Structure 1
Amino acid sequence: MMNPRVEMLMLLPALLCLFPGASWAATLGGLGDNVLGPYKFQDVGNFSTFLLDRSSGVLFLGARDAILSVDTSNLNQEPRKIVWDVPEEKRRSCVAKGKTEVDCNNYIRLLEFLGDGRIYVCGTYAFDPQCAFLELTSFTLEKAEDGGVKMETGKGKCPFEPSQHYTAVMAGGTLYTAATSNFLGTLFDISRATGSEQERIRTERSINWLSDPEFVSSAFIEESVENNPIGDDDKIYFFFTEVAKEYDLYTKVKVPRVARVCKSDVGGMKTLQRRWTTFLKAQLVCEDRPSGQRYNILTDVFTTQQTPGDPSSTLFYGLFTSQWEHEELSAVCVFSLTEISKVMDGPFKELKKTCENWINPEPVPTPRPGQCLNNALKVEGFETSLKLPDKVLTFVRDHPLMENSVSAAPLLVRKGVRYTKLAVSQTGGGDGQRGAVLHLGTDRGELHRVAVVGQNTTLLQEIPLFSSQEPVNNILLHQGLALVGSPLSLARVQAEGCALYADCKECARARGLGCVWSTEEAACSPTTAAPGPGDVVDYALKKCGTVEGRCSPSMSELRVSLGLRLLLPCVQLSPRPCSWEHPPHRQTRQHNSDLEVTVTEDSLGKYICTCQEAGPGVRDPTPCRRAAYDLTLDDPSAIGVMVTAGGRHVLAIYILFFFLGLVFGAFLLYFFTRRRSIVHQGHHLPDNSLSSEKGRDLLGSSATPQSPSSASLLSDGFRLTEKRNGTATSNTTTTLLSNNGNGGLHGNSYSGTLISPSNGHGNSLYSSCNTSNSGLKLTSEILAADLLDGRTGERGRPQERESGDEVDEGLGDALGDGMKGLEEEMASFPMYKSPAPLAKCEESSI
């Protein structure tokens, strides 16, 4: 029997052809066997780590309890597999510690080349991270003397949990990691994880250094010999999101950071022993200043060099989302190494402060704290970080954060889409202008391509690769190919070249990348000719015989019916906001760039979405029309029918509410009639109710009588309690009444003062104090109790106070079911029956 996934892949190209206008149909249809699913990987899943041998094209995949090897040039070849699982005894021990059986496996999180024909492999190993060595020639793990896998501890090199945020990079054969370092996942370290014991250093355990970080990416920037006249040190950069400590706000504000350490750093002699002496961090700001929208959650970073071999041309493309947006949102900002270095060489931020005011910043000592070693420092006698003076080390320990931020305007903003991974390929436009193609993976198994040329951003393709439940978690670019991975699958698609744009419209959208459509050959090919005047894409689209352009879409007629709710899409590529032109009515609501419309007679007409096209540094953006719709009625003769049906629905609702009101009134009448008959018959409440002698003393004495003005005395009392583990408890000596959710009343303490509730305006309500017994005055909202007192004519007298256990027992026995329980609860309040004894007035402040 054929695997259902195989059948799906065979039918997918045919199904996609049924959708007109699907620009990616031909591209996906040509994938063929370029998508590998679980059936090909022998039921191995949870792929989380990719490592590519670019010389051979072999891709190594870290999975759950296994390591796979795939030849990317021949995906039909069976993948090679190494099983590295956890012994059953260790798995049971992991489960006994409170972890799930799924997490108590060995998830391979680290694959790095060692340079000696081996790969360093680390896995979670049932919450006890372990590392091993993989021999490339034999594709086996090194064995120990007992025949098992030769392992060493992976703590500090690999996370304990498979879902923890983590990043690592190999620099000159030494591993640098950013990971959790304890079982609970509460300690975080950026460390040099391998090498001699003296060189294994890490960050200081301080929230000023790392505050609940979520590590994202890391990069090793090696200085070139030709372009490094000052002899500057190599550097390692770490990107993460953490909780900001420099903002005094009520909520936890997350901020993206970039941190830098120097490769030759070995720590201090006395201060910062085995700690980084060059650890500095700065805030990354991805913000569209005209709209004020800031994207503060960093999710992925791609590092590339505009000029290969020149470290100063390094660019970091960051993928962001927003902490404050409830809907899906993604943005891309690019930061240069030059700007980051400038901020790292700038002023330090002073985090210390007194009770009220910021203290004066400390003077910066010399040599500059956090500076990497160079020729000038070595001439001064600082050949190693061990020789740095204590005042320098103390300063950098207390000042890890820089005052200035690394800012950039977004290249791309997409609402309604959540991107998970990013890769960038640099291209050269036909007019010599450099461009870039953003390869973006979504959380729904899609690959999107976006062209960025100058200040114009154009969506090229949207290619579905996996099922909607498989998010893209890896993208590698190799020899014009994109290797895209999900937790269960692997895909290989063409990533570069004009040939991947199958029709004239797709080729026209890539005109800024140097592509042109050939009518004779019916193919898209590269060109060095300069683009035409005006908008590059629109001018190219006109040659395709279509009036629809990137900024001039054709009008789409939508046949709708009255009462229908629909969402009109508008693809926003610019970071600037979009606006809609529509008929003057109020039946619309904008969701980010899309527009929700409720169809009425007045809402029929034309809807046009216009976005502001602009890139970084543009002050006067140009309007770009992105979508146009014409709403027309599907069946005009149905108007009267729908109106009549709508009127019937309204009438039915009125009738329903009328009958509900009658039922509710009858219920109230029955309640008061029954209560009146009980009172006239002289029936008394049982002794265990709150109106008995025991319950009456729950109120105790009060310095200030209550005058509650809220709708419920129970809610006022409950606001003064602290709820723990589902029960209300009092942490003061105040006598309170609280509702535990089943109709019962519990007194939390039986001595002290009765705090008066707030009146809703921040002021407590007080009546005049005296030493006589005066009744508590209640508002008209609970007038029923006052009426009951008038009918009975009884006035309560203070009685001796019973023990607390008897009070609790009496409260429990007083609980009833249905209407009887409600009656007893209303009548059980002693404050409805008689006044509470009052103490002398005392000054009170709430």
Structure 2
Amino acid sequence: QLSCFCAFISGLHSSRSRFVCYLVNYQEINVIRCCTFVDVVGVSNFTSLLLSSEDNMLYVGAREILFALNLSDISALTWKTPDRKREECSFKGKDLQTDCFNYVKILLRINSTHLYVCGTYAFSPVCAYIVSSTADFSLVKSDTGEIVTEDGRSRCPFNPEYKSTAIMADGELYAGTVSNFQGNEPIIYKSLSQGTALKTENSLNWLQDPAFVGSAYIQESQPKGNPVGDDDKIYFFFSEAGKEFDFFDNTIVSRIARVCKGDIGGERVLQKKWTTFLKAQLLCSLPDDGFPFNIIQDMFVLTPSPEDWESTVFYGVFTSQWYKGASGSSAVCSFTMGQVEKAFNGRYREVNRETQQWYTYNHPVPEPRPGACITNAAREQGISSSLHMPDKVLNFVKDHFLMDSVIRSQPLLLKRNVRYTQIAVHRVQAAKKAYHVLFIGTDDGRLHKAINVNNKMHIIEEMVLFRDSQPVQNIELDTEKGKLYVSSFSELVEVPVANCTNYQSCGECVLSRDPYCAWNGKQCVDVRLAPPRNTWQHDVDEADTSAICNKTLQSPRLAKPPPTRMSSCQVIIIPANTFKVLPCKLRSNLAERKWEFSESAGHFHYPSPEGGLVVVAQADRQETYECWSVEEGFRQLLANYCVRGEARRESTTLTGRSRTPQVSQEEFIILPGETRSPQITTKTYWNELIVVCALLAFSLVVFSLFVVYRNRDHMKSMLKEGECPNMQQKKPRIAGKPAENLPLNGNAVTASASDHKGYQTLNDNYICSTPPHECSSPDNSKSFSESEKRPLNLRESHVEISPTCPRPRVRLGSEIKDSIV
């Protein structure tokens, strides 16, 4: 086990305070801590958590290994995949390094002595039994020493990335997963009993590519002897494609589905299929414009007691497939059992099989009510089980499994740029009433602790749980011990539900609105860890500090000290006419920072962007600066500084004059977060000057290159003038060799040549514009230009050789252009 300490960090805009958890070594396990860390080298994918109240153990399922944890011991059990299975998995096209392992996906208690576990087993799901006694933690084996296993299909997914859920109710396993290798046959399955296994009907499209996030067992038959005589129900929570919204492509909706525990299928219709399967839509949307958070990420079902199941509240975490304002927003919504019951007792929807359009069914429904459990009213009609249901009722259920009513809710908590992944809710009994405290995990490994007060959410604190920013995958809440067990991909953390020692004053304790904490007159204490006293006080609803903190002894943090009390301030000595930043960190993000100083300070100060105060020291003067935190009328002194400026003194040395101030070593002041330094550091701008000069030089170079590039054509024309005379000097013609007076083909030029097809103009990289007086003969000194826009007459084209500039020139009609061979 690893202990850790908590450090205060500000910056969360919607929370009171933010305490960040840092992990340290294996020592000091009994000190006050915010979390305990469990790490095993080489173990990853903590996919399953089971908190067992029977033996006070935490069971953890990971990749090819399981753990049994308590306060004094850790037991490990390996469950590896054989090499043969891994080779088969690789042959099927799966990754041997990631997919072809045994990922534990189901870990449930089946009775007081055994656990039921299922794993992917290299894309061949298998289930087994584990002995969970204090002296033994091992897989159940046969007489031959082989592990007793069962087929895991329809119970455990093939792919470890697939979202599934499972729950145990009276020895029966209810699972929501997929039943085939491809993952395209979703199923809600009931098994493990001596009776017939039940499942959903795939041909009727009861499920549309669902992603299961949770399930719950609610004993609606309680209390025993009630007049309704209803059956217990199993609820499933998932998101799927909403086929009823045909005007949108790939619209995802959140669902709640239920089945009855006593369902055993139909006799002639829906044999070995659910006869009580119904589903309804969950909608978490904004109140102003109805923007939907349509993808459910997790659901926590809070039931006060089995007998008080009607007070059940469903807390869900939702995200949206669309963006509004900021990406990655999340919302927390709650639904009551009354809303759920009203939806499942309302009207049905039916689908037109030809057009696939969904409509509200407004016609009479058969009796007993389709999809309902067996109640006393049905028993009076001679229907004691689903096998006795009339065929017309079961045929109606086959096509009317979707409810028309939408279970709506508005977000209790809305966070921008935060993606919530898991949620757990604790019902806390305070001095006057009970409160629901929410623990919400994020995709970057943080935990938000929030409370719902008067329909307003207050984030009490935020904790960083993991060393790496990994998504929170599972949260298990131990209400008796007040512990949270949070797992990620490779880490497992234990976190107490409260850490009241972080609040250092009466105002902080009351303003936190933490129902776990109360002020006893001297300090903030956890009300669960000590016997109750009459002096304990807290006000979660109003957070009135004046009614509580004024009754206690005033401390230096609660009363404003007199300005003349110089012993309480931190003396800071700096050279005159230099500035210093005075830090002031708030302990609450809902508080306001207020600086107070004497009138003589004048205008030699201004606030810094970080919330501090920049002060300029004046020669031979001392000013007092106080930083106060103000929140809902509560004032708290955070920092008190006495800034003294010393005039610069000139002193003659061997090398010349020095203008450094004469400050003794005893006058150095160490600020919070700083270390003692033998020199006084003042602000200089040498680095800034170097950066500015470098940027200016770079800008000039870029501008020069840009000017050269824009005028490249003009510069080329200037450089190429006079190229023809130079060429004649560099390349003299060989004596005795006749000059070329004919075209290259050696034939005489005839203007009416029938095979003349024109000339192709060649791109000469070193061609120049020859001046007329250099490259023209006296006889041919006329300047030609194109006087009219007309096609060139190829019959009038021929080649001319000038004796002055022996470069061939092409005559194209009335134009003469240079050419090169």
TM-score normalised by L of structure 2: 0.64
One-letter amino acid of the structure 1 residue matched with residue 52 of structure 2: D
Contact preservation (8 Å) 1:208, 1:245: no
In the alignment, which of 489, 492, 511 is matched to residue 490 of structure 1? 492
Report the Cα distance in structure 1 between the residues aligned to 2:318 and 2:61, rounded to whole angstroms. Answer: 26
Q: Give how far 1:311 is off.
A: 1.2
Question: Is the deviation greater in 164-173 or in 116-125?
Answer: 116-125
Report the Cα distance in structure 2 between the residues aligned to 1:282 and 1:423, rounded to whole angstroms. Answer: 23
Q: Give how far 1:339 is off.
A: 1.2
Q: Give how far 1:117 is off.
A: 1.4
Q: Give how far 1:383 is off.
A: 1.5
Question: Is the deviation greater in 504-513 or in 535-544?
Answer: 535-544
Q: Give how far 1:53 is off.
A: 1.7
Task: For residues 638-693 of structure 1, give each alpha carbon's deviation from its aligned partner in whole angstroms, at most 9, with x where no partner exists.
Answer: 999999999998887766665555679999xxxxxxxxxxx953599xxxxxxxxx
Q: Which residue does the alignment assign to 2:130?
A: 134
Q: Which residue does the alignment assign to 1:106?
A: 102
Specify the SS of the correspondent of 1:147: coil
Specify the SS of the correspondent of 2:368: coil
Report the Cα distance in structure 2 between the residues aligned to 1:194 and 1:177, rounded to whole angstroms. Answer: 11
Specify the SS of the correspondent of 1:461: strand
Specify the SS of the correspondent of 1:121: strand
One-letter amino acid of the structure 2 residue matched with residue 280 of structure 1: L
Report the Cα distance in structure 1 between the residues aligned to 2:146 and 2:515, rounded to whole angstroms. Answer: 54
Contact preservation (8 Å) 2:266, 2:275: yes
Question: Is the deviation greater in 476-485 or in 209-218?
Answer: 476-485
Report the Cα distance in structure 2 between the residues aligned to 1:466 and 1:98, rounded to whole angstroms. Answer: 34
Q: Which residue does the alignment assign to 1:377?
A: 378
Task: For residues 249-279 of structure 1, give each alpha carbon's deviation from its aligned partner in whole angstroms, at most 9, with x where no partner exists.
Answer: 3431111100010111112222222111111
One-letter amino acid of the structure 1 residue matched with residue 495 of structure 2: V
- Considering Cα pairs closer than 8 Å and 6+ residues apart, tell me whether 1 or 2 has the greater RCO: 2
Contact preservation (8 Å) 1:508, 1:537: yes
1:780-795 map, 5 Å: none
Contact preservation (8 Å) 1:541, 1:548: no
**Structure with more of its chain in helix, by fraction:** 1
Q: Which residue does the alignment assign to 1:460?
A: 460
Q: Which residue does the alignment assign to 2:293?
A: 295
Q: Which residue does the alignment assign to 2:218?
A: 221
Contact preservation (8 Å) 2:473, 2:487: yes
Q: Which residue does the alignment assign to 2:119?
A: 123
1:186-265 map, 5 Å: 186-196=184-194, 199-206=196-203, 208-222=205-219, 223-226=221-224, 228-265=226-263
Q: Which residue does the alignment assign to 2:428?
A: 427
Change (3 A) 1:649 1:323: farther
Change (3 A) 1:650 1:291: farther
| Unaligned residue ranges in structure 1 (runs of 5+) | 1-5, 561-565, 569-621, 623-633, 668-678, 685-788, 795-846
Report the Cα distance in structure 1 between the residues aligned to 2:378 and 2:250, rounded to whole angstroms. Answer: 40
Specify the SS of the correspondent of 1:312: helix
Q: Give how far 1:178 is off.
A: 0.1
In the alignment, which of 303, 308, 311 is matched to residue 309 of structure 2? 311
One-letter amino acid of the structure 2 residue matched with residue 494 of structure 1: P
1:397 and 2:398 correspond? yes
Contact preservation (8 Å) 1:111, 1:122: yes
Q: Give how far 1:61 is off.
A: 0.7
Change (3 A) 1:330 1:652: farther
Q: Give how far 1:126 is off.
A: 0.6
1:416 and 2:417 correspond? yes
Contact preservation (8 Å) 1:542, 1:549: no
**Structure with more of its chain in strand, by fraction:** 2
Specify the SS of the correspondent of 1:397: helix
Report the Cα distance in structure 1 between the residues aligned to 2:113 and 2:688, rounded to whole angstroms. Answer: 77
Q: Give how far 1:347 is off.
A: 0.5
Task: For residues 88-139 of structure 1, give each alpha carbon's deviation from its aligned partner in whole angstroms, at most 9, with x where no partner exists.
Answer: 1111111111111121011111111111511111110010000111112321
Q: Give how far 1:174 is off.
A: 0.3
One-letter amino acid of the structure 2 residue matched with residue 110 of structure 1: I
Task: For residues 592-618 of structure 1, give each alpha carbon's deviation from its aligned partner in whole angstroms, at most 9, with x where no partner exists.
Answer: xxxxxxxxxxxxxxxxxxxxxxxxxxx
1:31-46 map, 5 Å: 35-38=36-39, 41-46=40-45
Q: Give how far 1:69 is off.
A: 0.8
- Return the index of the structure with the highest Cα Rg: 2
Q: Which residue does the alignment assign to 1:161?
A: 159
In the alignment, which of 19, 23, 28 is matched to residue 24 of structure 1? 19
Report the Cα distance in structure 2 between the residues aligned to 1:497 and 1:351, rounded to whole angstroms. Answer: 54
Specify the SS of the correspondent of 1:229: coil
Contact preservation (8 Å) 1:301, 1:317: yes
Q: Give how far 1:288 is off.
A: 2.2
One-letter amino acid of the structure 2 residue matched with residue 409 of structure 1: Q
Report the Cα distance in structure 2 between the residues aligned to 1:659 and 1:241, rounded to whole angstroms. Answer: 62
In the alignment, which of 74, 77, 80 is matched to residue 82 of structure 1? 77
Q: Give how far 1:516 is off.
A: 3.5
One-letter amino acid of the structure 1 residue matched with residue 422 of structure 2: K
Specify the SS of the correspondent of 2:592: coil
| Unaligned residue ranges in structure 2 (runs of 5+) | 25-30, 551-556, 560-585, 596-605, 612-631, 633-682, 717-756, 763-789, 796-821
Report the Cα distance in structure 2 between the residues aligned to 1:552 and 1:125, rounded to whole angstroms. Answer: 53
Contact preservation (8 Å) 2:513, 2:540: no
Q: Which residue does the alignment assign to 1:273?
A: 271
Change (3 A) 1:268 1:662: farther
Contact preservation (8 Å) 2:101, 2:122: yes
1:656-735 map, 5 Å: 681-682=759-760
TM-score normalised by L of structure 1: 0.63
Change (3 A) 1:165 1:17: closer
Specify the SS of the correspondent of 2:402: coil
Report the Cα distance in structure 2 between the residues aligned to 1:793 and 1:274, rounded to whole angstroms. Answer: 92
Specify the SS of the correspondent of 1:488: coil
Report the Cα distance in structure 2 between the residues aligned to 1:542 and 1:259, rounded to whole angstroms. Answer: 50
Question: Is the deviation greater in 469-478 or in 397-406?
Answer: 469-478
Q: Give how far 1:508 is off.
A: 2.5
Q: Which residue does the alignment assign to 1:757?
A: none
One-letter amino acid of the structure 2 residue matched with residue 379 of structure 1: E
Q: Give how far 1:503 is off.
A: 5.3
Task: For residues 393-451 of structure 1, give each alpha carbon's deviation from its aligned partner in whole angstroms, at most 9, with x where no partner exists.
Answer: 12211111111111112111112222221111112344x34321111222222222112
Report the Cα distance in structure 2 between the residues aligned to 1:217 and 1:682, rounded to whole angstroms. Answer: 78
Report the Cα distance in structure 2 between the residues aligned to 1:33 and 1:454, rounded to whole angstroms. Answer: 28
Calculate percent identity across the aligned residue pairs. Answer: 34
Specify the SS of the correspondent of 2:510: helix
Report the Cα distance in structure 1 between the residues aligned to 2:792 and 2:366, rounded to whole angstroms. Answer: 85
1:317-336 map, 5 Å: 317-325=315-323, 327-336=327-336
Q: Which residue does the alignment assign to 1:609?
A: none
One-letter amino acid of the structure 2 residue matched with residue 412 of structure 1: L
Report the Cα distance in structure 2 between the residues aligned to 1:209 and 1:227, rounded to whole angstroms. Answer: 34
Question: Is the deviation greater in 351-360 or in 421-430?
Answer: 351-360
Change (3 A) 1:391 1:120: same
